[in-house]
Structure 1
Amino acid sequence: MVFFKYPEQIRRVMYTTNTIEAIHRQFHKLTKTKVRFSKQNNLLKLLYVGIKNASTKWTMPFPNWNLAVSQLAICFEELLDATLDL
């Protein structure tokens, strides 16, 4: 598996920060009781509010982030140098 070729700190970041799954779960919670929306705009407004609410909950810093960034810099040096000014 490609996942296991990376150091443990990088795997931990990938495993615990799956933003797509988290936002999908938030959307599902918001829409599971609604069978239909009278206008598409109403659905978009609901999803927008859901994203705003979810983003306020994602404030906890990742443990050992500096170590993870160091590992990422080693594995993806050419990609991160310009972005992070390392």
Structure 2
Amino acid sequence: MAQSWRRAWGEVVPFFAFPKEVRRLIYTTNAIEALNSKLRRAVRARGHFPTDEAALKLLFLVLNRTENEWTMPAREWSLTKAQFAILFGERFTRAMV
């Protein structure tokens, strides 16, 4: 583990420059990875699809089923939004519209 951190130290250090609230939101991307995993698993189990529409329907069904499992919003999102507004200014406020 330590060797891995040393090799990637140049990419790790900028992460710590962000405020605590932003770092917490960044490392909660595990939820996104879990969703991607469910989508990949569904596609892999099905094999091939006769049309693109068939694949989209399957992904839609997986997303609908998964949405019911989501019970918690992003932690401290209001604090994180405030930090993003400070860090990125107008760029962030335009994106939020």
Report the Cα offset of residue 51 of structure 1: 1.9
Unaligned runs of 5+ in 2: 1-10
TM-score, scaled to structure 1: 0.70
The equivalent of 1:80 in structure 2 is 92
Q: Is the 8 A contact 2:22 2:84 kept in 1?
A: yes
Report the Cα offset of residue 10 of structure 1: 0.4
- Among 47, 70, 82, the alignment partner of 2:82 is 70
1:21 aligns with 2:33: yes
Q: Is the 8 A contact 2:21 2:79 kept in 1?
A: yes
**In the aligned structure 2, how far is the partner of 1:43 from the partner of 1:60?**
28
Instruction: State percent identity of aligned pairs.
Output: 33
- Larger relative contact order (Cα-Cα within 8 Å, sequence gap ≥ 6): 1
**In the aligned structure 1, how far is the partner of 2:71 from the partner of 2:88?**
26
Report the Cα offset of residue 84 of structure 1: 4.6
1:36 aligns with 2:48: yes
The alpha-carbon distance between structure 1 residues 84 and 35, as it changes in their structure 2 partners (threshold 3 A), is closer
- Among 47, 60, 79, the alignment partner of 1:48 is 60
The alpha-carbon distance between structure 1 residues 19 and 79, as it changes in their structure 2 partners (threshold 3 A), is farther
TM-score, scaled to structure 2: 0.64
> What is the identity, as a one-letter code, of the residue corresponding to 2:57?
K
Q: Could you give the per-residue CA deviations for residues 11-53 of structure 1, whole angstroms, max 9, x where no partner exists?
A: 110110356523321112313323333x123222111211222
